Amino acid sequence: GAVELGPYRHYMQKEIFEQPRAVADTLEGIEGIAPELFDGQGEQAGSAWRVFKEIDRVLILACGTSYYSGCTAKYWLEDIAGIPTQVEIASEYRYRTSVPDPRTLVVTISQSGETADTLAALRHAQSLGMTHTLTICNVATSAMVRECELAYITRAGAEIGVASTKAFTTQLAGLFLLTLALAQAKGKLSAEDEARHLKDMRHLPVALQSVLALEPQLIQWAEAFAQKDNALFLGRGLHYPIALEGALKLKEITYIHAEAYAAGELKHGPLALVTSAMPVVVVAPNDALLEKLKSNMQEVRARGGVLYVLADADTHIQSSEGVHVIRLPEHYGVLSPILHVVPLQLLSYHTALAKGTDVDKPRNLAKSVTVE
Ligand code: G6P
């Protein structure tokens, strides 16, 4: 039946605020890490364990926001599971000559499970002899789930807003589980690590709720962004794809030109664009890269750029002239991307409200691109 808006003004707003529930549902009932979590349907039941033992690489194929969840997962898969991982835009992969390796796990990521390029990329990989396929998908009855050997169904529920929000965070939850299951199959997950990661995952809904409570501060930022024509987003490591997703959200629903860069690339080009008219959003959790990021921030300040910093509990960055800081309540370690994307969603949503653009149906865009 029709999805009710309830107390919300827009589906995107509703879907942003549903994220604690969506992530909780996606992780519900998981008592321990096991490849069986990824078993396919019917005759594929029981096959994940064998597949995980057989493969020694991962190839992720996706489009749009789903591509950025794949980019995030690459950092997890190489760091935690030690598995070489390649992430490719589906429309690129399907049309280029590539070198197939049958010991690859091909992972497609899709909210709808019907995106034409992602389906075609999957079939292309299969035609090259890569039979081990897995999808992280939000629609259990989709073509993607039917055509993949293994599947993990996210439980975001129907996503109506064209700009993806809860599908992204639930994909990340599913991809983190996949990372742990592959790490386990490769003998790289100790019982202590498993218990620690499970505990952190169970705490995610509460942590997401406390990030959503930052909304009033993001409304203030949005008032400034609504006056701008351009914005730059910076991140490093796990949060580089989050910066990309933040820029995509802003483009999609506010029509403000936004670009994201790996912060280390700043001096190789985008620094030339920085003036006082260019807001620079920095995703700055307190991880091993924070000191590097701080020097990138100084480079921006020295050119008069205005910084909007998403820090977290332990980041010692203070608001000052030209530096606006919002502090997330906790530092969340490797799961931090799941939290840091939320303020970026809220920033875009409120900037769109301030500009009066059509949040749920941005011009020229479709929810699901099922034709080429
Ligand atoms: C469209 C939507 C995006 C989505 C992308 C991929 O561009 O507007 O929100 O990320 O398709 O869709 P999928 O269903 O494959 O995740």
Per-residue model confidence (pLDDT) at position 178? 98
Whether 63 lines ligand 1, by a CB cut-off of 6 Å, is: yes
Q: Report d(CA 109, CA 117) in Å as an integer.
A: 12
Per-residue model confidence (pLDDT) at position 1? 53
Per-residue model confidence (pLDDT) at position 193? 96
Residue, of 44 and 333, whose pLDDT is higher: 333
Residue minimizing CA distance to atom 11 of ligand 1: 368
Question: β-strand 150-153 against 133-137: which pairing, if any?
Answer: parallel
Tell me the per-residue pLDDT of 53-92, one tens digit each, with 9 for 90 and over: 999 999 999 999 999 999 999 999 999 999 999 999 999 9
- Among the options 188, 294, 361, 367, which is catalytic? 367
Q: How far is the CA of 316 from the centre of ligand 1 (A)?
A: 36
Burial class (CB in 10 A: 0-12, 13-18, 19+), 99: exposed
Output the average pLDDT for the chain. 95
Whether 338 lines ligand 1, by a CB cut-off of 6 Å, is: no
Whether 171 lines ligand 1, by a CB cut-off of 6 Å, is: no
* Catalytic residue status for 367: yes
Q: How far is the CA of 115 from the centre of ligand 1 (A)?
A: 7
Q: Report d(CA 27, CA 60) in Å as an integer.
A: 21
- Measured between alpha carbons, how far is residue 214 from residues 13, 164, 217, 243 in Å? 14, 20, 6, 18
Burial class (CB in 10 A: 0-12, 13-18, 19+), 129: exposed
Q: How far is the CA of 110 from the centre of ligand 1 (A)?
A: 7
Tell me the per-residue pLDDT of 128-186, one tens digit each, with 9 for 90 and over: 999 999 999 999 999 999 999 999 999 999 999 999 999 999 999 999 999 999 999 99
Cβ(160)–Cβ(15) below 8 Å: yes
Q: To test ligand 1's pocket by mutation, which of 12, 60, 94, 115 has the most ligand atoms within 8 angstroms of CB? A: 115
User: What atom of ligand 1 comes closest to residue 366's alpha carbon?
Assistant: 8
359 DSSP 8-state letter: S
Q: How far is the CA of 118 from the centre of ligand 1 (A)?
A: 10
Tell me the per-residue pLDDT of 295-306, one tens digit each, with 9 for 90 and over: 899 999 999 999
Q: How far is the CA of 36 from the centre of ligand 1 (A)?
A: 27
pTM assigned to the model: 0.97
Torsion of CA 220, 158, 251, 223, to 10 degrees: -10
